[in-house]
Chains A and B, each alone.
Chain A
Amino acid sequence: MIMGLYNYWIVVILMMIGFYIVIAQGNLIKKIVGLNIFQTSVFILYISISKVDGGTAPILADGISKYSNPLPHVLILTAIVVGLATTALGLALAVRIKEAYGTIEEENIQMKDDEEC
């Protein structure tokens, strides 16, 4: 049960680590790192799904009849690009926030916002 599904366990553990960082950390960069770990866990989930017992990499070659499912690989390629775009945008926003507020700590930003209201 545990050994047979060990990559799924890793997925769950990574997912929770990432999710926890996003919620618990106040530093915007750390939040983005958490978001990345969270997304990466989903990539591993997809790759695990595509594995066929005894199948090799989906490259056409002589003497091989059993391949892993290539579709999730392709899907995840797209999802990685999306993750990259999200990270880039998040970091760009963090830079702008640093310029505007002089800090990238959630608490301090919130404090400065409350002062304004």
Chain B
Amino acid sequence: MLDQLPILQVIIPLLAAPLCLFLRKPRLVWMFTLIASAACFMISVLLLQQVASQGDILYSIGGWAGPLGIEYHIDELSAFVLLIITAMSTIVLFAANTSIQKEIPENRQVFFYILYLLSLAGMLGIVATGDAFNVFVFLEISSLSAYAMIALGKDRRALWAAFQYLVMGTIGATFILIGIGLMYEMTGTLNMADLAERLPEVADTRTIFAAFAFFIVGVCLKLALFPLHMWLPNAYAFAPSMVTAFLAATATKVAVYLLIRFTYSIFGISFSFTTLPLQEIFVALGLVGIFAASITAIYQTNVKHMLAYSSVAQVGYMIVGYSIGTTVGLMATLLHLFNHALMKGALFVALGAVMYRVGGVQLSSLNGLGRQMPYTMAGIVAGGLSLIGVPLTVGFVSKWYLVQAALETGWWPVAVLVLLGSLLAVIYIWRIVEAAYFKEPAEGATPVKEAPLTFLIPIWILVGANIYFGIDTRFSVDAARAASQSLFGISL
């Protein structure tokens, strides 16, 4: 049983999805989905323990050993990302049932859970697999279900956002497919470990440069790196609240994982950063992304839009850490992966609660909510503080390591810019605080009650995690350090 964990991780949500159709009743389906997701979470915890004690896990599908057969490969990095995804998906699901009752018509609720599970299966597959073509297939499973989930949004603009995301996402995925095809052409293998071995021999050819370029651009589209982020704000803003919470906490993380996996363990850091000028490009794009997206966020009137732009800025931080190209830099990126999932998860679930009670997430509809929904708004404030990077929250931890990594390499202007970027976050978070605590509710607006417990529990679990991992950093820092060291030490 324990040997089968890597595949069970992917199979459980994949099989659970069609089974939902038989259960029919949304409430039953919700419980079933929650159990499936919780099972994945348990498995990822076990996997992390196994990897920590015994090293990498290799699993050959159907008993066909790699490199000919398809292999699943779990190392410190993938175990860490698997844990983030399954944990976030389970916590978000907890609130899902209440939230979608108001946001999705009853006859479509079951489909929401099916798409959710498929998307989860896709993401877990991307992270677990050790086969390059498998990555593409799982990527499309998770993306296609994400497009459909976004289109479930109540507003008609959700349809248009989903269509735009579909076009951009398909271009990105096809670019990745071209990249993988060209790699296969030159090496004759799709197994990641095998690719890593054979690529250096042919690294100096134009085909491999083209493969690398296609792949990187494709992944950057998926991870919404500035200036390829255009699909993200509308998709996040108009999707049902729980879809936003789920995608914001997981989808871009998976793309960052792919970027790290291919550049660090397959192409190798010297090819990615020395032969090609990826480092300079990424630092520049990351920093521009932080500023452009944060400044745009300040001017938004829809809070979901605001936080979506903030997500683009946070991806910028991850990319800056990644392109510093040292163990500490990569560690900062991985930490931010974890931390950003916690804070954006908390914020978007809390916004879901606001949506549930108030029916809108315009900045003006937050007016006076500080007194009417004290626990939810306190959750938003705590999440916001973490987003800014206030000490004693997780946001501080990752920025601390990021600045440290930049200073170590002597890139002090980068460190200064990262800190300045955080100040911009203060402005947009302040706009939420101002509306919630210092403005009176609009006249004639019916007073609303505090959000139900199904929201408050996940919000406060996430807020608690934001604070807990901000103080006791042992787990997250150790896991991120182990992952980043293994990427630098032994390649896959």
Contact = CB atoms under 8 A, between A and B. Distances in A.
B163 A90 contact: yes
B157 interface: yes
Contact of A46 (B144, B157, B170, B181): B181
A64 interface: no
A109 B181 contact: no
Interface stretch (B47-55, B132-140, B447-455, B474-482): B132-140
Contacts of A97: 156, 159-160, 163
Contacts of B157: 113, 116
A100 interface: yes
Given A42-B177, A42-B181, A86-B140, A113 B170 contact: no
A31 B171 CA distance: 12
Contacts of A82: 136-137, 140, 144, 173
Contacts of B147: 89, 93
A99 to B, nearest CB: 9
A101 B170 contact: no
Contacts of A42: 174, 177-178, 181
Interface string A76-117: 001100100110011001101100110000000100010010
Given A96-B151, A97-B160, A101-B156, A72 B184 contact: yes
Interface residues of A, number: 29
Interface in B107-160: 133, 136-137, 140, 144, 147-148, 151, 156-157, 159-160
Nearest to A38: B174
B159 A96 contact: yes
B166 A86 contact: yes
A49 B173 CA distance: 19
Interface residues of B, number: 25
Nearest to B141: A82
Q: Does more than half of chain A's interface fall in helix, strand or loop, or is it mixed?
A: helix
B167 A31 contact: yes
Given A49-B181, A82-B140, A100 B166 contact: no
B323 to A, nearest CB: 27
Contacts of A94: 163
A47 to B, nearest CB: 10
Contact of B166 (A90, A109, A116): A90
Contacts of B160: 97, 101, 109, 113
Contacts of B156: 97, 100-101
A35 interface: yes
Contacts of A100: 156, 159
B408 interface: no
A9 to B, nearest CB: 15
A89 B166 contact: yes
B133 A75 contact: yes
Closest 5 CB pairs of A and B: A100-B156, A82-B140, A49-B185, A93-B163, A97-B159
